[in-house]
Structure 1
Amino acid sequence: MDNAQATTAFAALSQQTRLDVFRLLIKAGADGLLSGEMGEILAVKQNTMSTNLNILLRAGLIRNQRHGRSVRYFADMQGIGGLIDYLLQDCCGGAPDQCKPIISTICGPNTNASKTQDKTE
């Protein structure tokens, strides 16, 4: 990932609805979600959802798969991994032990972020 791609990804995530969609798709995992399902969960109109999904698709943060007339959306783990790798490529100035808290937060089953999110829902 280069600077332009990272900037596009961050711009896509800088809007509340898109950030909510992105987090919802991460939570959905391998099952993904239909656009209409996300619209219902987040109380977002279909045309607004479609626009936001396209922005996230172009940013490489989500992917879609057509099933007949329906389109299912998923978090694009490869794209997300590329963004995380971009952010951490020069992490800790060559002292990997300093990166352990970041890595455990990213990989841990119960991160502080998820605990905070659960309390606010």
Structure 2
Amino acid sequence: MPQYLSLQTFSDQRGNLTVIERILPFDIKRIFYIYGVDASVRGNHRHHRTIQAAVCLVGSCRIVCKSGPGKTEEAYQLQTPADCIILHPEDWHYMDSFSPDAILMVLASEYFDANDYIFEPYAS
């Protein structure tokens, strides 16, 4: 089941500083960004091993997850750089509703491996 984290943010007259430290349930092996997205839906998969943390650095997007057969889909709106969703391997997910300026950063527990992806959605 996905976890929502509110990342620690320090704000003053100079601006904001958001920290990702000692809060993720994995060591980071891969970082990637999704941006310049049109009305497309991204994702549509789950993993065998990979845990991911998603943060929308700029703009906003929605992540919809389902954690197993017969489970209800849950939607998470990422609207600030302090919003973080942890996606576990069993969390079949997709991302949509990207604002035109959205930059979604994803931190992953594993290096890319095409064999780690499961594209078949759970049965309803």
Give the structure-2-normalised TM-score: 0.27
Q: Which has the higher helix share?
A: 1
Higher CA-based Rg = 1
Q: Which has the higher strand share?
A: 2
Larger RCO (CA within 8 A; separation ≥ 6): 2
